[in-house]
Amino acid sequence: MKILVYAYGTRGDVQPYLALAAALGRAGHEAILSAPARFETLASAHGVEFRGRDDEWLGILEDPDVRRILAMGGMRKALDKDARRRARTRLHDDFRRLFPKILADTAAAADSDVDLVVHSQEYVDQGGQIAEKLGVPSVLALLHPFIVPSWEYPSGLFPFDTRLPRLLNRLSHVPLRFLRLERRTLARWRSEDLGLPPRPRSHDMQRRPDGGRVTVLHGFSRHVVTPASDWPSEVHTTGFWLLPGGDSWTPPPALAAFLDAGEPPVFIGFGSLAGLDPRETGRAVVAAVRAAGVRAVVSSGWGSIEIDDPPEDVLIVEEVPYDRLFPRMRAVVHAGSAGAMNEALAAGVPQAACPLHREQELWGNRVHRLGIGPAPVRQRDLNAAVLTEIIRQVVTDRTMAERAARMRTLVRAEDGARVAATVLTDLFDATATHTG
């Protein structure tokens, strides 16, 4: 079976899909990952064929003005008039300019002999239509539970842990059917580039062309989010998709020396899309590390944290594999991405989230509910004093440490990538039997 896996975003967004593609390869299938070009080396290291995508949109999201908008929850709260204008241009005008290229890249990655298309939420308007063009099944692969309608959980329009009446939970999913960017561009791409005729509900990511339900993979742990009892049988909560251990990663000399020089440090990193001023964040990190009396490995995250002259108890790293680093940490402080949260779970260490947006808030709240970390603190509310208290909690609370160790056992036992690969194999076999 030849499977095309589409993913987009930062490393925390893309690595789970790489893990899924690698698991498909171990199961004897040919898996291709289509993702931003910056991840080609990472994919090659795990033996996965790679189709690079343009990185320009990620660069826009990393723009300082755009970061501040995301952190502060809106333009007027965050920026002066000129900065708002620049950010609006980057977010709206540049997206409209780039969207046709995004669509073209999506189509170019698809070989005519692909048997199955698996795509992340970022491809909800494209993945299913590529599969329709090829005449093969599509699978929606998600790292969060916001999309599939339920009486028990709200859509992503509300904080996930909001207690709504059951009917409102269900109704909250209805607007998502109509929220589409650049509808005309999509329709033109479908007609002119893919050669597909107009079709009712062609935009519905959860319906096949024949009206049946699309298979959905939920790449998170049932121990973190309990599957809704009314999710249909086509929805599979597999566990998180982790890359296999056992490779020969060797820390860079400076990192290896730092790890060996004292007690395990705390990891602090807010990813490449962190919303605060990088230098201001760097000053807060240094002050908090000193006040808490710990050592720290700090991820610069494509410039999200800047520390010009770090003290000896702080080591700056650029990009490191979380799955190799986190088991050697005392605790982890991150932005709340699904990737970082699950890697910390798999490492069995306490963690804390400083979220930027709603999906990250979900995971931060779940960490707190599980008792493996403090309540999340939004990045816009973060300062040295707040970060100091966060660090103190995650390194001194023995109950958090014990619960984190138990969660490690549960999460690793799920073997989510292998389970997901089995689901896809069964889907292909069933489709082949039906069409044969």
Share of the chain above pLDDT 90, in %: 55
The SS3 of residue 138 is strand
Q: What is the pLDDT of residue 182?
A: 65
| DSSP letters spanning 39-92 | GHHHHHHTT-EEEEE--HHHHHHTSHHHHHHHHHTSHHHH--HHHHHHHHIIII
Per 3-state DSSP, the chain is made up of helix, strand and coil in percentages (nearest 5) of 50, 10, 40
Of 296, 290, 312, 299, residue with least CA distance to 264: 296
Question: What are the pLDDT digits (tens) for 306-341?
Answer: 998 999 999 999 888 899 999 999 999 999 989 999
How confident is the model over 187-202, as a mean pLDDT?
85
Residue 435: count of CB within 10 angstroms of its CB = 8
3-state class of 236 per DSSP?
strand
Return the SS3 of 3: strand
Q: Are 26 and 419 in contact (CB under 8 A)?
A: no
Q: What is the pLDDT averaged over residues 346-375?
A: 93
Most confident listed range (12-16, 120-124, 181-185, 412-416):
412-416
For 224-238, the pLDDT digits (tens) are 999 999 999 999 999
Cα–Cα distance for residue pair 127/389, rounded to 1 Å: 44
Concatenated DSSP letters for 80-113? -HHHHHHHHIIIIIHHHHHHHHHHHHHHHT--TT
Rg (CA), the chain: 22
Query: Contact at 8 Å (CB) between 116 and 430?
Result: no
What sign does the dihedral 148-143-10-341 (CA atoms) show?
positive
Q: By mean pLDDT, which of 193-207, 335-349, 373-387 is the weakest?
A: 193-207
Q: Are strands 2-6 and 30-36 parallel, antiparallel or unpaired?
A: parallel
The Cα–Cα gap between 354 and 337 comes to: 10
Pairing of strands 331-334, 351-353: parallel
- In the predicted model, what is the mean pLDDT of residues 389-418? 97
Average pLDDT value for the chain: 88
Q: pLDDT at residue 248 above 70?
A: no
pLDDT greater than 60 at residue 79: no
**For the chain, which domains are there?**
2-239+415-435 (3.40.50.2000), 253-413 (3.40.50.2000)
**Amino acid in the structure at residue 10:** T
**CB neighbours of residue 350 within 10 Å:** 29
Give, in order, the Cα–Cα distances in Å from 170 to each of 63, 117, 173, 217: 36, 28, 6, 20
Q: pLDDT digit string (tens) for 39-55?
A: 999 999 899 999 998 88
What's the average model confidence in pLDDT over 360-385? 93
Element (H, E) at 259: helix 253-260
Q: Are 394 and 373 in contact (CB under 8 A)?
A: yes
Q: Assign 388 to helix, strand or coil.
A: helix
Ramachandran category for residue 154: left, alpha or beta (phi over 0 → left; psi -120 to 50 → alpha): beta
> Which residue spans within 262-362 are E strands per DSSP?
266-268, 296-299, 314-317, 331-334, 351-353
pLDDT tens readout for residues 81-106? 776 677 777 777 777 888 888 888 88
> What is the pTM (predicted TM-score) of this model?
0.89
Does the pLDDT at position 175 exceed 90?
Answer: no
| Mean pLDDT value across residues 199-210 | 76
The pLDDT value recorded for residue 69 is 66
Give the pLDDT band of residue 75 (cuts 50, 70, 90). very low
For residue 355, give Cα distances in angstroms to 254, 334, 376, 407: 29, 8, 7, 21
**Which range is least confidently modeled, 20-24, 59-63, 398-402?**
59-63
140: confidence class by pLDDT, cuts 50, 70, 90? very high
